[in-house]
Amino acid sequence: MAHARGVARVDVCRRTDEDLERKKHRDPVAAAERSEAALDKVATRKLKDGSPVHSFRTLLDELSTIVRNTCETLVGKNRGSAFQMTTTPNPAQHRALQLLEAITM
């Protein structure tokens, strides 16, 4: 996924009915016009739920804080059993993971 390097943008919110309706009646040759919802998103850099708008790069940055640690117990001077612990994704990371799983290539 790192090969995309921010070229692809992940749209975090679904298209509005207004956007879909406008698409049905637009001239395919004319320059695209952004809907009010899209203009609001650009101006505020926030989604309807108040969360920040992300690019593909910033979503990957958000996900980079999820880590898997290998823990090992010591019994005296001998190594004991080892196990892995992965940090729990916060809500934004959980949503980012859902969006990445939805990408089809």
105 residues of the chain, pLDDT tens digit each:
444 434 344 444 455 666 777 777 777 788 878 888 889 888 998 888 888 888 888 888 888 999 999 999 888 888 888 999 999 999 888 988 887 888 877
Contacts (Cβ under 8 Å, ≥6 apart) of 63: 89, 93, 96, 97, 100
pTM assigned to the model: 0.47
pLDDT of residue 74: 85
Report how far residue 43's alpha carbon sits from residue 39's, in angstroms, rounded to the nearest whole number: 6
pLDDT of residue 14: 52
Q: How many domains does the chain have?
A: 1
pLDDT of residue 71: 92
In terms of residue numbers, what domain contains 96?
A: 2-102
